[in-house]
Chains A and B, each alone.
Chain A
Amino acid sequence: MNLVLLGRSLRDSWLLLVSCCAMALGFTWLRVWVASQIKVDAFIKFFSESLQIFQGLLPVPIEDLASPLGRVAFSFEELGLLMLLGLWTVTRATDCLAGRLGAGTMEMLLAQPVRRLTLVTTHTAVTLGGVLTMGAASWLGVKFGLQFSKFEEAPEWTKLAPAAVNFICLGVFITGAATLISALVRTRAQAVGMVIGFYVVELMLMIIGRLNDRFEWMNRLTILSVYEPTLLTIGLNRDPSVYWPLFWQYNGTLAGLGIAALATSAAIFCRRDVPAPL
């Protein structure tokens, strides 16, 4: 780790990190408060009658989702929060290698007596630190939301820890995948395009796999099948002996693949030719 590079990386990214964390905190706070306003009976009736086809997409049965804990945990599956996580991780991870190569700043950095591995690890440490901070901010938003909620029996905010951990592990995975793509291509635009393409394919696999039993195998191919914050939260609070192994399996898969991708991208970058900037 190089402290000068670490300081530079922190100064480069603090505004984006603070913005993303503030929005994540505000989003989950508001989301929990809104969820506490929903009338459960109407919610169940609406989903059961009008949106029956989408029930296959729900992470847990509708009754569990309508419970206070289910409604709060589902905040971690909201597109808004996931987009904030994506914004932070993809922006940072694609900047790590392809971004700097394309911008030409890598030229001057690599001419200094600094190992390529140090450049990658320093940048990634800040990105992963940001993922942790965002996870904590989201969880804190849930806590504040619960304090101001109108649930008759508000769940303890600590019960949402499995969702926050799953959210953080997803961040580790995206960081790894985006850094790996960044190590393989030459410009940041290519890296961002490939990450978005990857996400769209994953999302399609998940939707088709969940909506149609014939294509259930597709759901098992996508990494999104191990991002289940609502399932893990409800399961661990209801039947820990069954859901702890699942908790480790899901989070281990996300974090493990993410770290493996980071290690691979570092290995690729340390060996690859560094082209002249475009």
Chain B
Amino acid sequence: MLIQTELLSKRYGHLAALTDCTFDVPRGEILGLLGPNGAGKTTLLRLLLGYLKPTSGTSRIDGLDCYSQSVAVHRQLAYLPGDARLFRQLNGRQTLQFFARLRRTSLERSLRLAERLQLDLTRRVRQMSTGMRQKLALAVTLTPDVPLVILDEPTANLDPTVRRDVVELIREARDEGKTILFSSHVLSEVEDVCDRVLVLKAGRLVDTVRVVDVRRQHRIQAALTGPLSPLPAQLAEDIDLRQDAAGVTVISRGELAPLLGWLANQPLAKLQIEPIGLRSVYERHHPATNGDE
């Protein structure tokens, strides 16, 4: 395991920012962190970076304690903050040079990344838009050859074209064998990129889902024109079935084909089949309130 946390907690007086968070991340995995603002995502990332001292529990990266061995830990990782702020007086090239020299990494690789992200390296950071600054910080972050990359909402300020490039870069990093910890509010992006997702709520880890499993799940809704026949035993294991006055709702966690065979013989009308997706998992823990999208 590259990352291991055990009962990791952080309190500020009476406020619990993170409580008893335990999870492992194997090498080469892209792990997503999901949760609304204040759920504890950033606290978790800052604990892993050694920026915060845990109130209790432990976190280790490559066997090193994240707080007491933070310099050694930082040799193993690269980090992109949610709102990356760079030295305002430097231009793009100078920024890349500074971090390349600090890390003793290749400037050429930084420049290649910058070119791919369509960065104007002659412009000073203070003259850059938020999106450009974020792209520059992303080039800084993805340059070092480290086993772990931590990205805190990397696409938050980017336009759709660059967002696509960033997602592509993350996938490439994964293909190079890097482990990626990826926090985002964009569910579709997390679903596209991540292998596994941790859902946080009020500082607690409330769910862990594998994206491949989520993708296999479907919700089927239909009106009933007569009584349903009994569900075959071989299907019952992977299916939740609910009936009410409006009709029937079936949640399938496994293969869809056998279920469709059974449904074809049922007295149904207005049949709708939709993939459940990460949104359903997320909304199970964080139900939408009025005004939420």
Residues of A at under 8 Å CB distance from B?
Answer: 2, 4-5, 8, 12, 103-105, 107-108, 110-115, 271, 273-274, 276-277
A108/B140 in contact, CB under 8 A: yes
Assuming the contacts A108-B137, A112-B74, A273-B51, asked whether A5 and B85 have C-beta atoms less than 8 A apart, the reply is no
C-alpha gap A140/B52 in the complex (Å) = 47
Question: Given A8-B98, A113-B71, 8 other A-B contacts at CB below 8 A?
Answer: A107-B85, A108-B140, A110-B74, A111-B79, A113-B74, A273-B53, A276-B46, A276-B81
Residue of chain A at shortest CB distance from B87: A105
**Chain B positions 134 through 169: 1 when the CB is less than 8 Å from some CB of chain A, otherwise 0:** 000100100000000000000000000000000000
C-alpha gap A195/B281 in the complex (Å) = 51
B68 to chain A, nearest CB (A): 11
Q: In the assembled complex, which residues on chain A have CB atoms less than 8 Å from the CB atom of B52? A: 273-274
Residue of chain B at shortest CB distance from A8: B98
Binds A, one of B99-107, B110-118, B209-217, B256-264: B99-107
Q: In the assembled complex, which residues on chain B have CB atoms less than 8 Å from the CB atom of A274? A: 46, 51-52
B66 within 8 A of partner (CB): no
B280 within 8 A of partner (CB): no
A104/B53 in contact, CB under 8 A: no
Residue of chain B at shortest CB distance from A3: B101
B102/A114 in contact, CB under 8 A: yes
A276/B42 in contact, CB under 8 A: yes
C-alpha gap A112/B81 in the complex (Å) = 13
C-alpha gap A114/B99 in the complex (Å) = 11
A108/B86 in contact, CB under 8 A: yes
C-alpha gap A114/B71 in the complex (Å) = 6
B75 within 8 A of partner (CB): yes
Assuming the contacts A274-B52, A276-B46, asked whether A112 and B87 have C-beta atoms less than 8 A apart, the reply is no
B86/A112 in contact, CB under 8 A: no
B49 within 8 A of partner (CB): yes
B243 within 8 A of partner (CB): no
4 residue pairs, one from A and one from B, having the closest CB atoms: A104-B85, A111-B79, A274-B51, A113-B74
A112/B102 in contact, CB under 8 A: yes
**Chain B positions 68 through 104: 1 when the CB is less than 8 Å from some CB of chain A, otherwise 0:** 0001101101110101111111000000001101110
* A104: contacting residue among B72, B81, B140, CB under 8 A: B81
Residues of B at under 8 Å CB distance from A?
Answer: 42, 46, 49, 51-53, 71-72, 74-75, 77-79, 81, 83-89, 98-99, 101-103, 137, 140
C-alpha gap A38/B68 in the complex (Å) = 63
Q: In the assembled complex, which residues on chain B have CB atoms less than 8 Å from the CB atom of A114? A: 71, 74, 102
A-B contact pairs, 7 of them (CB 8 A): A12-B89, A104-B81, A108-B84, A112-B102, A113-B74, A115-B71, A274-B52
A38 to chain B, nearest CB (A): 44
Residue of chain B at shortest CB distance from A109: B102
Residue of chain B at shortest CB distance from A271: B53
B103/A113 in contact, CB under 8 A: yes
Residue of chain B at shortest CB distance from A103: B85
Q: In the assembled complex, which residues on chain B have CB atoms less than 8 Å from the CB atom of A277? A: 81, 83, 85
C-alpha gap A83/B71 in the complex (Å) = 39
Assuming the contacts A12-B89, A105-B87, A274-B52, asked whether A111 and B98 have C-beta atoms less than 8 A apart, the reply is no
Q: In the assembled complex, which residues on chain A have CB atoms less than 8 Å from the CB atom of B84? A: 104, 107-108
B71/A108 in contact, CB under 8 A: no
Q: In the assembled complex, which residues on chain B have CB atoms less than 8 Å from the CB atom of A4? A: 98, 101-102
Of the candidates B72, B75, B103, the one having the most CB atoms from chain A within 10 angstroms of its own CB is B103
Q: In the assembled complex, which residues on chain B have CB atoms less than 8 Å from the CB atom of A107? A: 79, 81, 84-85
Residue of chain A at shortest CB distance from B47: A273
C-alpha gap A220/B136 in the complex (Å) = 54
C-alpha gap A113/B102 in the complex (Å) = 8
B102/A5 in contact, CB under 8 A: yes
B53/A112 in contact, CB under 8 A: no
* A110: contacting residue among B51, B83, B87, B140, CB under 8 A: B51
Residue of chain B at shortest CB distance from A117: B71
C-alpha gap A103/B84 in the complex (Å) = 10
B83/A104 in contact, CB under 8 A: yes
Residue of chain A at shortest CB distance from B10: A273
Q: In the assembled complex, which residues on chain B have CB atoms less than 8 Å from the CB atom of A5? A: 102
C-alpha gap A107/B85 in the complex (Å) = 8
Q: In the assembled complex, which residues on chain B have CB atoms less than 8 Å from the CB atom of A271? A: 53
Of the candidates B53, B84, B85, the one having the most CB atoms from chain A within 10 angstroms of its own CB is B85
Q: In the assembled complex, which residues on chain A have CB atoms less than 8 Å from the CB atom of B49? A: 110-111
A108/B74 in contact, CB under 8 A: no
